Amino acid sequence: MCTPSRVPLWTPHGFGYVQLMFDTIVRTDARCRTAGGFTSSHRFKLLQIGLGGGSFALAVRRQCQAMVDVIEGQPDVAIVAERYFGYSPGAHGGRLIIADGLEGVRTLAMHSTPSTRYDAICIDCMVQGAIPDGCKSDEFVGRLATLLRPGGTLVQWSWPDDKELLKRRWTQHLANVTEHSMLDGGGFVLEAHGPVPGFRLS
């Protein structure tokens, strides 16, 4: 089995958006910049939707000493990530939920409380190169807002055709929405910080 590098270099391999999402999460939380500078009761918590090879989950886990929960819709993707790329679902208390993105966030939102909300959520939700309808629906974004702590960071990769729809839905539920254009891939990374003040899922 290969030993994954401690800090993957995504950009040279055409995945600059992954690097941007990682850098955004790390720079917006002091726990990711100061190793060991927090107690275990305040462990950084990340929700990742779309596992890929697992390198993002591994990198955030190491950089932030994080607990990482993952929603992945394709069981074979999880098997490959675990068998060949060093991803381990249960490490540091994290969970692997095999479900499509919308169904996964529905399940988590049913049991969400202020103490279980995430410090960051990263969405790289693609099926055959397209964002599934569920991962850009109003319900999906609304449930994400219930899972994110106030001031927490949410990032999502988007193709140009989906960006305006996503931004409209994000601004209804999420605070401080911004976009970052990716020159190397023609897409965008959307960024938000916490639910809008007074947010309640209808």
Whole-number Cα distances in Å, 194 to 7, 40, 46, 126, 178: 27, 22, 13, 23, 12
CATH 3.40.50.150, applies to 16-33+43-193: yes
Tens digits of pLDDT across the chain (202 residues): 555 445 565 554 456 788 889 999 998 888 887 655 455 568 899 999 999 888 889 889 888 889 999 999 989 998 998 888 888 887 777 899 999 999 999 999 988 888 889 999 999 888 777 888 999 999 999 999 999 999 999 999 888 888 899 999 999 999 999 998 876 667 889 999 999 987 776 5
Output the six-digit token pair for 30.
């002091």
Supply the pLDDT for residue 149.
Answer: 93
Q: How far is CA 108 from CA 20, 69, 71, in A?
A: 26, 10, 10
Contacts of 131 (CB under 8 A, 6+ apart): 125, 158, 159, 162
- 3-state DSSP assignment of residue 28: coil
How much is the pLDDT for 135? Answer: 92
Domain residue limits, the chain: 16-33+43-193
Q: Are 66 and 45 in contact (CB under 8 A)?
A: yes
Closest listed residue to residue 20, CA positions, set 178, 194, 196 = 178
Strands (E), 4-147: 45-49, 67-72, 96-98, 118-123
Contact 45, 94 (CB under 8 A): no
pTM: predicted TM-score of the whole model, two decimal places: 0.87
